[in-house]
Amino acid sequence: MIDGDGFPGGPILRLDGAEDPREARPRSRAAALLIAAAIAAVVAGVAVAVLASGTGYVYGGLPPAGASESAEPVPGEPSAQKKALAKLRGENRRLNAALRARAPRGYWVIVDQTQNRIYLKKDGETVLDARCSAGSGMILKEPEGGKGRRWVFDTPRGVFKVRNRVSDPAWKKPDWAFVEEGKPIPRNDADRIEYGTLGEYAFYLGDGYMIHGTLYERLLGRSVTHGCIRVGRDDLRVLWKHVEIGTPVYIY
């Protein structure tokens, strides 16, 4: 037998195959540590999972509202209460009237420009619900050698009023219409006039935007225009019947 005695820290070799107790102790300690670490990791994992399952959003019914920020102190005296009530009721009437005054009356038009729908309303009743075509959102760049202009073909959002309405409208083509077609921009205004393109009727909203007819009814329902709102012939006739100068047009 060769023993490591006398060689502290040196290699230990037991030829009889038995484990040296000095080596077995650290090994079992390491194993125990490993097991403890694994258990701790599992426990921590479970704890995190449990806490995570309780973290996020919990949904329920409508809770009672908290105190209103506009709540004012209530007077205790009956006469003061009466006065406060009268004041509040007067204000309530004024506010309700102001709210009603802002709502459109008579005929008015709504354009849903992303879904290409046009509605004609009378007060709150829907008189017409039709497909239309709004701005394509395309960007047109002038070719090299031009003025370097850039046009964005969006339909604007907001409230507009019909400024003019025209039967058999002529289109005075703007520069972009020539640029897009690869044609030279005419110097003479008369060369810009085109008939038939806008359909039977046009309603002018300002800044060159119109509601008008189209030669391409198959494209209705798609965003294809240069910012105007195109409507099919039959629907345009309904609009012509009811939409006057001053009729509000809400585009969203």
The gap from C-alpha 89 to its chain's centroid, in whole angstroms, comes to 38
CA 149/CA 209 separation, integer angstroms: 19
The gap from C-alpha 212 to its chain's centroid, in whole angstroms, comes to 27
CB of 115 to another protein, least distance (A): 5
Q: Which residues pair with 61 in a beta bridge?
A: none
**Is the Cβ of residue 55 or residue 167 nearer to another protein in the bound state?**
55
**Is the Cβ of residue 186 or residue 208 nearer to another protein in the bound state?**
186
Terminal C-alpha separation, the chain: 96
Tokens at 210, concatenated? 């119109």
**Is the Cβ of residue 5 or residue 72 nearer to another protein in the bound state?**
72
CB of 240 to another protein, least distance (A): 14
CB of 146 to another protein, least distance (A): 8
**Is the Cβ of residue 12 or residue 110 nearer to another protein in the bound state?**
110
Please, are residues 75 and 81 in contact by the beta-carbon 8 Å criterion?
yes
CB of 204 to another protein, least distance (A): 20
> How many residues can be counted in the chain?
252
